[in-house]
Amino acid sequence: MYALGVNHAYHESAACLVHDGRILAAAEEERFTRVKHGKAARVDNPHELPVNAIDYCMEEAGITLADVDHIGSSILPAKRLRNSLFTDRVAAGDWGGPGGETTFYDHLQTVPARLREMGFQGQFHWLSHHLCHAASAYYPAPFDRAAVLAVDGIGETASTMVALGESTRLSPSVEISYPASIGFLWEKIAKYLGFSEYDACKVMGLAAYGDPAPYRDHYRHILKLLPDGQFSLDNDVLRFRMDDYSGLTDLFGLGPRPPHGGMSSDYADITAALQAATDDVMLHLARHAARSLGTRNLCMAGGVALNCVANGRIAATGWFDNLYIQPAAHDAGTALGAALLIWHHVLGGPERDEMRHAHYGPHFTEADIEAALQEHGAVYKRVDDIAGEVARLLADQKIVGWFQGRMEFGPRALGNRSLLADPRHPAMRERLNRVVKNREDFRPFAPSVLAEHARQWFDIPTPSRASDFMLIGYRALQPEKIAAVVHIDGTSRIQTVHADLNPRFHQLISHFHRITGIPLVLNTSFNDREPIVCTPADAITTLHRANIDYLAIGDFLVEPPPTGPGHSAAMSTR
């Protein structure tokens, strides 16, 4: 029985194929189209399907859409239409207004017919957005009973769900409706700070440079914690559905920061207070889930579950023995959740497929790779021990693009589509931010650490699967030795690497450990202001335009072109 989940209503368009409960393939549309987030979230485009991601899933399984029995979409159009009934400040014809919501609804209604035109003959399902988030976190987790938190911007009318997972069933316990939305709060503050609504990662990085105290009470004015896990936000101040920052200007006594303008300490303090307020809400929700559902296992999804600081605060409480966070916690993960909901809720399938890794994307043969290298006129050589060769280059302060195996599903590069560097020297962080990634100096980098050595380098009270996916922050125990991957607050968002799950990446870090005595490497996504690379051609193109010293792709080591920005005079380890 094949079940295909698709996410297309807002952003992070994606597809996931499940066969008899086993995850076969999952990918985000942006990796194929090279358009970040797949598409913008607009009222006039929810019918634009992730056709490339769908095609990939079919190719991976060796089937066509005619062979798919069920397709699920992670949105309930009729429930979403209720947004037009809310009392709200809205722009004419846009989100929340009758015209905009009707446009969104009407376009969604064309989706089943579009899938039929693509060859689908099976049964189509509209599914709850937050239940899909919850399913993406619970069903792949190694627990038969768990509390589940799904926290994001908005699904249909809700921003947050608390649910109980038992065996193969999910039962919602609490739903919190718009405008009480932590996800929207982060989007609004990000835009107030001169970033885009997609720049939560920048805001989280900046927060560590500020002091929450000066603005802590300002957030308490607009955010209230209520009984039974509930909370509220004052939308008279926030005005989520308008590009209006007058309420925030009055609240903080400070106007919006112009894009690319200076970053004063006041803005950093506002951001620090936002993180503190978010910690409060997430702890409030987690405490309620622990007390009301009577389980010491917690699963998390939704865009807010990508906040590694809040995740670390939850893990440190001791309320839960086990924490599992879906690696594709943002909206792309609802494609996985939709497929699993069909298998378990609609079809009653009992088998569950534990998701111990996130490598469900495209992969390429050595012949595919060499053909791409030759087509691009690359300077390359085949290496007998690519892991050992790259470890020596990293120890020699080189930056290496690492392209191996199947692409990761989700926003984190987890050792298959990564840029790697030496974590020991703080100058490496500056070089990567300014010269390679072309991003702000305050952005941190993460370490990928051998799982068997992680607790010697980081304060990990209770090991968690979340660290396998780079989704939780821990205090570094020897920060002076790994300065390039320790944030200003003394923490690192680590990825623990296991020999049985990613043997080649584990071998690389093991080689680096033998050379340097450090059992970890700096790992950041293989991209330059673009989606993470997907194909060999993407990797070669990024190598040519970015300041990267080498590309390790399959068993091949590639130099930039002689005139390229990342050119090295020679391969020092030939």
Query: Is 133 assigned a catalytic role?
Result: no
If one counts every other C-beta atom within 10 angstroms of the C-beta of residue 473, the result is 28
Angle value at C-alpha 336, between 335 and 342, nearest 5 degrees: 90
Cα separation, 195 vs 356, whole angstroms: 34
- The encoded tokens of residue 491 equal 């923490």
Exposed, middle or buried, 478 (CB in 10 Å: 0-12/13-18/19+)?
A: exposed
H/E stretch holding 156 reads none
What Cα–Cα distance (Å) separates residue 19 from each residue in 5, 335, 408, 535? 11, 14, 19, 25
Catalytic choice (11, 133, 511, 544): 11
The helix/strand/coil state of 491 is strand
| Half-sphere exposure in the Cβ direction for 394 (13 Å, CA) | 32
- Enclosing H/E stretch for 288: helix 265-293
Inter-residue contact 275 to 212 (CB < 8 Å): yes
Which positions ≥6 away from 224 have C-beta within 8 Å?
Answer: 231, 232
DSSP string, 50-87: -HHHHHHHHHHHT--GGG--EEEES--HHHHGGGGGS-
* Distance (Å, whole) CA 74 – CA 63: 23
Strand runs labelled E in 378-506 = 379-382, 400-403, 417-421, 446-450, 458-459, 473-476, 491-493, 495-497
CA distance from start to end of the chain: 51
Residue 151 φ then ψ, to 5°: -135, 120
Strand partners, 408: 359
Going by the DSSP 8-state scheme, the letter that residue 548 receives in this structure is -
Query: 495-497 and 400-403 as β-strands: parallel, antiparallel, unpaired?
Result: unpaired
The three-class DSSP label of residue 4 is strand
Residue 91 exposed, middle or buried by CB count within 10 Å (0-12, 13-18, 19+): middle
Give me the sign of the Cα torsion angle 484, 191, 410, 560.
negative
Confirm if 376 and 409 have CB atoms less than 8 A apart. no
* Of 399, 402, 438, 418, residue with least CA distance to 566: 399
Handedness of CA 546, 548, 550, 551 (dihedral sign): negative
To which H or E segment does residue 237 belong? helix 235-238
* CA distance to 83, 150, 404, 448, 544, per residue, from 418 (Å): 40, 28, 9, 10, 16
270 token code pair: 């506002």
Instruction: Give me the active site residues, please.
Output: 11
